Amino acid sequence: MVTVVFRPEEKRVEVPPGTLLSDAARLAGVDILMPCGGQGRCGRCAVVVESGSVRRRSTQRLTPDDIAAGYALACQTLVESDVVVFVPPQERIERRIKETKRAAKIELPFPYDRHDQPLRKFAVTLEPPSLADQTDDWSRLQREMARRYGIRNLQASLPVLRKLPRALREGDWTVTAVVELDAWDRPEGPPRLIDVLPGEHLESLWAVAIDIGTTSNVVWLVDLMRGQVIAQAADYNGQIARGEDVISRIIYASKGNGLQELQELVMGTLNRLIAQVAAEQNIRPDEIYKATVAGNTTMIHLFAGIPPESIRLMPFIPVVNQVPTFPAREIGLGINPEGTVDCLPGIASYVGADITAGVLSSGLCDSDELTLFIDVGTNGEMVLGDCSWLISCACSAGPAFEGAGVVHGMRATAGAIEEVWINPETYEATYKVIGDERPRGICGSGLISLLAEMFITGVVDKSGNINLDLPTKRVRRGEHGPEYVVAWADETATGRDIVITAVDIDNLMRAKAAIYAGFSVLARSVGLTLQDVQRVLIGGAFGQYINVEKAIQIGMLPDMPYDRFHFLGNTSVRGAYYALVSREMRRRVTEVGRMMTYLELSADNTFFDEFNAALFLPHTDLSQFPSVAALVGEG
Amino acid sequence: MPVEIPVEQWPGRVIEETLGATPAEGGTRSRVVKVGGENTLPFMLTDGEMPNPPRIAIEILDQRPKDWSPLLLEAWGDVVDDPAKWAKAAEEAGADLVLLQLSLTRDGGKPTTAADAKALTRAVLQATGLPILVFGPGQVDADNELLVAVAEEAAGERIVLGICEEKNYRTIVAAALANGHLVNGRTAMDVNLAKQLNILIADMGLPLDRIIMDPTTASLGYGIEYGYSVMERLRLAALQGDKMTQLPMLVTPGFEAWRQKEAKVGEGVPASWGDWRQRAVLWETLTATNLILSGADIVVLRHPETVKRVRAFIDRMMAK
């Protein structure tokens, strides 16, 4: 017999060698949660072996660092000698799981140089006019800017000129000129006077980076003096009420004054966000002098008020891939009306500026490693390539992973079930809710986790059909056909059962199949296989919360070691930020746009085949998913 | 100059399956019928072997057909009023197998009951010594109820139960498992879907040598190219070693051909179409022979004259 001591409770128990730590814990009266029923799948029973010898039967869910630190899964670890085990508090485990399975942010990958971006502030003091020097105000300013700063041929619009006399005189002939030396579509200038302020105001210089997603909009307030993001705000796109996906928005825009309405709605959202970040820094929105904008092609069209109809119709051509630079006043964007709006370049109707921004900010184009970049969103855009070539496609995954098209789906906010475990013996579900509240629904990551668990435990077959013969009340025939009860009414915030229906599962299956089929077709189009991919970069706000293991189990992501996956969060707004703060980045994103090949899947006859093959758990060709095959005992 | 004929050697082989059981094997069939087992494309006997020729099943209904062409009714005569007599006539007409198709309702519109299904199965088993296939009406609840009864009634006979589909296979497969039968699974003209259903059925524990796949096809002139191509791709995958496609294929050219106006009706069609009787039988025959060339191991036919012609075709193709 050997002795197992469980700290911090200092409970001890004698067991024969070869006993599972989880059994020893039960005998010792130590409570260790095992939501997956002791299958080694959820990682929630992780403990720290402080001394003694153990054998880990499975280290799934543990990283090499974890193991080095003594972590072991109680349900998978056999004691071999006297051991001392520390049982960490539950919330520590959760945090650890989150940190190892989900990724971190990327910093600005280059040193900031404020002279490598075109927006400047110049303090300038003019000789006051006199009867002897009767030069007009504007020429006087131009003359001094040229003399003092070498800025020639300064241009100004009428609204700025109207401000000039008062600023000069209020500032007693000392003013701060906000000048944009060049812009995206006029890299050689001429410089343009955007604002003129009485006195000297050189402390800060504000601009915003904007991402217009179909679902959410993000604004980053950037101080161009330091190059840093000072404030962030995000909210749902006000257009959602007029359609969940781009196609329904395009249709809405084509009716009556739908286009104008949609533009006003998104402008409403953005202006509220801009006002919010401005208020946080105690500045006025008109002190923000520039906006750099990324977004999918439809969103950019609607933002600029350009009719998007042609995006939807064969042969799927946008009006413009890169909108020329224009002042904010032309569209009512709530920054300084003379401030420049730069939209990043898109590639095609369904691979937009959000993707070029993503490629730029993810570093895909800086490495010679074969990289797959995917923006997990409604449109499921993806890019394969390295520093010398890029190919992209978009597979309409639908909004299922964003909670739409699923009866109890919701976005990833408080009250959303974000992870589920199903006990393989009893088919009982345990779940984790964002904000530790009573659940109100299931978000995208929860749906992936739920589908994976239902598959692994046999609640659904490989086609996703719910097995109604299981001995549990959780499977039943509901008003939408077969369904599985994730949370009973008395556990939920709504007082109603939270279920996943056969129809929901079909939608999820189609979404994941579209994404994987996209990968397959992209790889095949260049004569490679997914096994050749060295890095997978996952962007998109929802992408941050995907559990790779579960996403592989359902066959949504290719089966490869977890350390090849990197989560980047919102790569679109980050790309806009890079392009805002650096001319070099602005140049590079244009180049990304030029070098990327676009594969139109509707013109590709292998997509449908690949889609049907992927419409199975994990895939019709199980050999593409060796880790899942091993898990379900078919390895 | 001597010409060397290139030989294509395939690493894979279609599983050989046995339909029916003799008294020695626990059934009452006068003989068993083997299907599949080939390791070459159809009739490429220089490349490999085809131990079993394609088999012919004749489809009979559990009652006088309501929407069949008058040509078929004329060909069979009064036996169509009695499934037992029809089964016997089918055997005499040269069938290898008899397929009993159950209907949703009986005379007077009453639903077909489990007891009806049992009695019909028993009657057909007694009337013919050939292995049989029994297909449900194609409506989920009725299929499950009737086929379970059929499976129990025919326990030990190694009959083929059909039709399993992706959304409804569990009950039928369980009944086959419990009573020693085979199942037929149908999918909608797609290689991956066919393979998926095979996997689903096999996942329930039914050995692969008790699963037949029906990739669905179409009649001559109505998309047979598509069905042909899917079957050809399935067979190529099987020969290349893809285990989950190495199952014999059953198709229903009789059903497909006879629902098209070229076969079904003799009036209101252009005179240039020629003699109806000849055309109808040719339509079914050509549909069937094409599908055999794309890899079908069992063709389900309707007209006795077609059976003769398809049999002659198979014999000629199998001759060394």
pLDDT over 50 at A196, yes or no: yes
Q: For the segment A420-439, what is each residue's pLDDT rounded down to a tens digit? A: 999 999 999 999 998 888 99
**Burial of A61 (C-beta count, 10 Å sphere; 0-12/13-18/19+):** buried
Segment A231-241 shows an average pLDDT of 87
- The least confident of A341-345, B78-82, B108-112, B124-128 is B108-112
B191 CB within 8 Å of a chain A CB: yes
Q: Which chain B residues are Cβ-neighbours of A462 within 8 angstroms? A: 196, 199-200, 203
The candidate with the shortest Cα–Cα distance to B192, out of A92, A169, A70, A608, is: A608
Segment A317-330 shows an average pLDDT of 95
Q: Give the gap in angstroms from C-alpha B200 to the nearest C-alpha of chain A.
A: 7
Per domain, the residue ranges of chain B are 17-318
Q: Which chain A residues are Cβ-neighbours of B166 within 8 angstroms? A: 463, 465
Q: For the segment B2-36, what is each residue's pLDDT rounded down to a tens digit? A: 888 889 899 999 999 999 999 999 999 999 999 99
Q: Give the gap in angstroms from C-alpha B150 to the nearest C-alpha of chain A.
A: 21
Q: For the segment A613-630, what is each residue's pLDDT rounded down to a tens digit? A: 999 999 999 999 999 999
Pairwise CB contact (< 8 Å): B196 & A615: yes
Q: Give the gap in angstroms from C-alpha A466 to the nearest C-alpha of chain B.
A: 10
Q: What is the dihedral of CA B149, B301, B180, B139, to 10 degrees?
A: -40
Pairwise CB contact (< 8 Å): B190 & A615: no
Chain A interface, best mutation among B169, B171, B196, by max A CB count within 10 A = B196
Q: Which chain B residues are Cβ-neighbours of A461 within 8 angstroms? A: 200, 203
Highest mean pLDDT of the ranges A43-57, A161-175, A557-571: A161-175
- The least confident of A111-115, A176-180, B160-164, B300-304 is A111-115
Going by pLDDT thresholds of 50, 70 and 90, the confidence category of residue A541 is low
Question: Are the CB atoms for B305 and B94 separated by under 8 Å?
Answer: no
Q: For the segment A5-43, what is each residue's pLDDT rounded down to a tens digit? A: 998 888 889 998 888 888 888 888 887 776 666 667 667
Q: Which chain B residues are Cβ-neighbours of A459 within 8 angstroms? A: none
Going by pLDDT thresholds of 50, 70 and 90, the confidence category of residue A103 is very low
Q: What is the DSSP track for A125-153?
A: EPPPP-SS----HHHHHHHHHHHHH---S
Going by pLDDT thresholds of 50, 70 and 90, the confidence category of residue A604 is confident
Q: If interface means Cβ-Cβ distance under 8 Å, which residues of chain A face chain B?
A: 461-463, 465, 467, 469, 609, 612-613, 615-616, 620
Pairwise CB contact (< 8 Å): A463 & B203: no
- The first and second tokens of residue A232, run together, are 């962030």
Sign of the dihedral defined by the CA atoms of residues B246, B247, B248, B250, in that order: negative
Q: Which chain A residues are Cβ-neighbours of B193 within 8 angstroms? A: 612
Segment A373-378 shows an average pLDDT of 81
Q: Which chain A residues are Cβ-neighbours of B243 within 8 angstroms? A: none
Q: For the segment B248-301, what is each residue's pLDDT rounded down to a tens digit? A: 999 999 999 999 999 998 888 899 999 999 999 999 999 999 999 999 999 999
According to CATH, the topology of domain B17-318 is TIM Barrel (3.20.20)
Q: Going from the N-terminus, what domains does chain A have, and what CATH number goes with each?
A: 2-101 (3.10.20.30), 114-198 (3.10.20.880), 206-343 (3.30.420.480), 364-398+516-631 (3.30.420), 400-508 (no CATH)
Give me the pLDDT at residue A78, please.
Answer: 87
- Segment (H or E) for A477: strand A475-478
Residue of B nearest to A465 (CA): B167
Q: How many contacts (CB atoms, under 8 Å) link A and B?
A: 30
Give me the pLDDT at residue A101, please.
Answer: 35
How is residue B110 annotated by DSSP? P
Q: For the segment A253-302, what is each residue's pLDDT rounded down to a tens digit? A: 998 999 999 999 999 999 999 999 999 999 999 999 999 999 999 999 99
Give me the pLDDT at residue A246, please.
Answer: 87
Of B190, B191, B196, the CB nearest to A463: B196
Going by pLDDT thresholds of 50, 70 and 90, the confidence category of residue A635 is low
Going by pLDDT thresholds of 50, 70 and 90, the confidence category of residue B216 is very high
Of A463, A469, A613, the CB nearest to B166: A463
Higher local confidence (pLDDT), A308 or B107: A308
Pairwise CB contact (< 8 Å): A612 & B192: yes
3-state helix, strand, coil in chain B (%, to 5): 45, 15, 40
Q: Would you say how long chain A is, in residues?
A: 635
Pairwise CB contact (< 8 Å): B192 & A609: yes
Residue of B nearest to A618 (CA): B196
pLDDT over 90 at A99, yes or no: no
Segment A120-143 shows an average pLDDT of 95
Give me the pLDDT at residue A37, please.
Answer: 61
Place of tokens 């809405």: A252
Residue A158: how many other CB atoms lie within 10 Å:
6
Question: Are the CB atoms for A79 and A17 separated by under 8 Å?
Answer: yes
Going by pLDDT thresholds of 50, 70 and 90, the confidence category of residue A480 is confident
Average pLDDT, chain A: 89
The candidate with the shortest Cα–Cα distance to A381, out of A366, A392, A369, is: A392
What percent of chain A is modeled with pLDDT above 70?
94
Distance CA A128, CA A172 (A): 8
Q: Would you say how long chain B is, in residues?
A: 320
Pairwise CB contact (< 8 Å): A462 & B199: yes
| Portion 153-172 of B in contact with A at CB < 8 A | 166-167, 170
Q: Which chain A residues are Cβ-neighbours of B199 within 8 angstroms? A: 462, 616, 620
Q: Which chain A residues are Cβ-neighbours of B195 within 8 angstroms? A: 620
Pairwise CB contact (< 8 Å): A609 & B193: no
B205 CB within 8 Å of a chain A CB: no
Q: Give the gap in angstroms from C-alpha B296 to the nearest C-alpha of chain A.
A: 22
Pairwise CB contact (< 8 Å): B191 & A463: no
Give me the pLDDT at residue A10, please.
Answer: 87
Q: Give the gap in angstroms from C-alpha B38 to the nearest C-alpha of chain A.
A: 23
Give me the pLDDT at residue A241, please.
Answer: 79
Of B167, B191, B196, the CB nearest to A616: B196
Q: For the segment B109-131, what is each residue's pLDDT rounded down to a tens digit? A: 899 999 999 999 999 999 999 99
The candidate with the shortest Cα–Cα distance to A511, out of A350, A609, A375, A398, is: A398
Of B167, B193, B200, the CB nearest to A462: B200
Pairwise CB contact (< 8 Å): B166 & A465: yes
Give me the pLDDT at residue A98, please.
Answer: 41
Give the ranges where A11-117 is alpha helix by DSSP (H). 21-28, 64-68, 90-101
Pairwise CB contact (< 8 Å): A616 & B203: no
- The first and second tokens of residue A620, run together, are 């019709």
Distance CA A445, CA A376 (A): 11
- The least confident of A57-71, A108-122, A270-284, B106-120 is A57-71
CA dist A369 → A109, A227, A537, B272 (Å): 18, 29, 12, 66
Highest mean pLDDT of the ranges A65-74, A528-537, B307-316: B307-316
Cis peptide before A315 (omega within 30 of 0): yes
Q: Give the gap in angstroms from C-alpha B196 to the nearest C-alpha of chain A.
A: 6
Q: Which chain B residues are Cβ-neighbours of A616 within 8 angstroms? A: 192, 196, 199
Residue A187: how many other CB atoms lie within 10 Å:
13
Residue of A nearest to B198 (CA): A620
Residue of A nearest to B169 (CA): A465
Going by pLDDT thresholds of 50, 70 and 90, the confidence category of residue A106 is very low
- The least confident of A86-100, A550-564, B234-248 is A86-100
Chain A interface, best mutation among B192, B197, B199, by max A CB count within 10 A = B192
Pairwise CB contact (< 8 Å): A462 & B192: no
B189 CB within 8 Å of a chain A CB: no
Pairwise CB contact (< 8 Å): A615 & B192: yes
- The least confident of A44-58, A162-176, B36-50 is A44-58
Give me the pLDDT at residue A60, please.
Answer: 66
pLDDT over 70 at B45, yes or no: yes
